[in-house]
Amino acid sequence: MSELQTTLLAIGLGVIVAVYIFGWWQQRKYRSRFGAAFKANHADALYQENTAAAPEQIQQPALAEVNEVTVEIANETNTAAEIPVEVPATERSDRSSPGDFCALLDARSDFIIELHPAEPCPAAALDGLWQRKFDFDKPVQVCGMILNSQQWERAIAEGQTLYSHFRIALQLVDRGGAISAAKLADFRDLVLGVAKHIKADAAAPDVHETHRRAVELDTFCAEVDQMIGISLVPPGERLLLCGKISQAAALRGMTLEADGAFHLPDARGHSLFSLASQDAQPFQHHTPETQGTAGITLLLDVPRTENPGKQFFRMARIARELARELQANLVDDQRVALTDPALAVIREQIIRVETKMSANNIVPGSAQARRLFD
């Protein structure tokens, strides 16, 4: 080994030793600075007993079968005349803010148990209820009458407000169907047990009569639960480019939501209708502009849309504009072009549903309708 190689090897070993000593010294310094803090007996926050109630569970909508109808968009001059639907006075007030939610509870749509505590108490007194709130397959709501007031408000487990009365309600129907008699009985027994624990008088409806009403309401909801679709597909084997779809939707005020579809919102942020890909893949913000889809579908959820007949007319106009812009055809689910009379037939069908719902005090797009068709 030459003298130069020996010198270089010695220098390398010296550098390694120096780095090791410097690292050891740094570790020792940090241990002395922070060691006391880690030696202290701190409780693990993840395992502390949590006395607060669990946050409200996000209800995943259970989708019942709906009637999907695909229509061709004809000239606007050929569409049926708009038929105004009179909104009952009881439902005008139903289009409520979250603070008015307690006004929506009624015996037709909810199993309501009234509690009258011997002394005013906060909602935390209903401890057994909060622990099992999500055990009944349907939403449970608790409303309390504020002490020294005639005002009802939605009560939460962590609240400190004192209430003189409670209304505890189990929703009877949603798109998952009607509540079962067994669940109703279980809910009744739970609430009555809580009432006994806090020494409250309780008034509960009859379980069998309530279940009969639930089945009746569910039957009605199934009759009017319709989803109207307008499909656009390109001719031949050509795909519709996602970039062009996104631009076209944005120009018409539609925004991409978490469900992977574009939605046109109303003034309150509720979706009037949506635009979704016919492929399995949802639209995403990072979807490449050059990626293609075999077709798109505009969808209108009739029971959840205010003035669905009017909004169908609007959706039809946008569908025709998109068809021209994207050079696509309007077809049924068998990819067969539809005729002008199909538009009038479908629109008349929507108007019939709208009228039928309003006559039963469930106006399409109202807060009550959005509860029942969730």
pLDDT for the residue numbered 227: 94
Q: Is this model's pTM higher than 0.85 or not?
A: no
pLDDT for the residue numbered 207: 97
Q: How far apart are CA 312 and CA 228, in angstroms?
A: 8
- Dihedral (CA of 205, 207, 212, 215) sign: positive
Per-residue pLDDT of the chain (374 residues; tens, 9 = 90+): 666 667 667 776 666 666 556 555 444 443 343 333 333 333 332 223 333 333 333 333 333 333 444 443 333 433 333 333 343 433 433 334 444 789 999 999 999 999 999 999 999 999 999 999 999 999 999 999 999 988 999 999 999 999 999 999 999 999 999 999 999 999 999 999 999 999 999 999 999 999 999 999 999 999 999 999 999 999 988 999 999 999 999 999 999 999 999 999 999 999 999 999 998 789 998 888 889 999 999 999 999 999 999 999 999 999 999 999 999 998 776 776 767 777 778 899 999 999 999 999 999 999 999 999 99
| 320: amino acid identity, one letter | R
Q: Does domain 108-204 have CATH number 3.30.70?
A: yes
Cα 143 → chain centroid: 21
Q: How far apart are CA 304 and CA 374, in angstroms?
A: 8
Q: What DSSP string describes 260-275?
A: SSEEEE-TTS-EEEEE
Domain boundaries, the chain: 67-87+225-372, 108-204
Q: How far apart are CA 267 and CA 269, in angstroms?
A: 6
Neighbours of 334 (CB within 10 A): 6
Supply the CATH classification number for the domain 67-87+225-372: 3.30.1400.10
Q: How far apart are CA 113 and CA 131, in angstroms?
A: 18
| 332: amino acid identity, one letter | D
Identify which of 310, 357, 361 has the alpha carbon closest to the alpha carbon of residue 83: 310
pLDDT for the residue numbered 150: 86
